[in-house]
Structure 1
């Protein structure tokens, strides 16, 4: 794709959104979901840092971050228990 075409497409999308407006609730929902995924990844990082001596290592990927982000501390505990019992 040519750079001028790429810039033109982005500019037209921005112009269209300025005229039509963006649905605020959907953008807020997506933003809150991304924040939860990031918080889940941070929880897993601390679990891996603290659980290193106990042999607990849960990989940090999108699936485990979503589980830890949505369920919170119980989700991290469930992932640690699954890791401990399965592996």
Structure 2
């Protein structure tokens, strides 16, 4: 797993994401959605955003890394999830 992602997870333990990284990968729409849901649940915020992907460099530690592909997910108070994949 990417080291910078592990640093973020000291706040949100990976087991709380409740997704299979083997199935979806760290750079996926499903991961971004899980991150947004965990952030929403753990912070009590009105809005939570999950973002994963690579802007320019391919991550040599993750096979699912594609340069310029970023996944966004937003969840709001009513539980509506908006997910988007962006290619830069």
- TM-score between both structures, scaled by the size of structure 1: 0.30
- Larger fraction in helix: 1
- TM-score between both structures, scaled by the size of structure 2: 0.29
- Larger fraction in strand: 2
Pick the structure with greater CA Rg.
Answer: 1
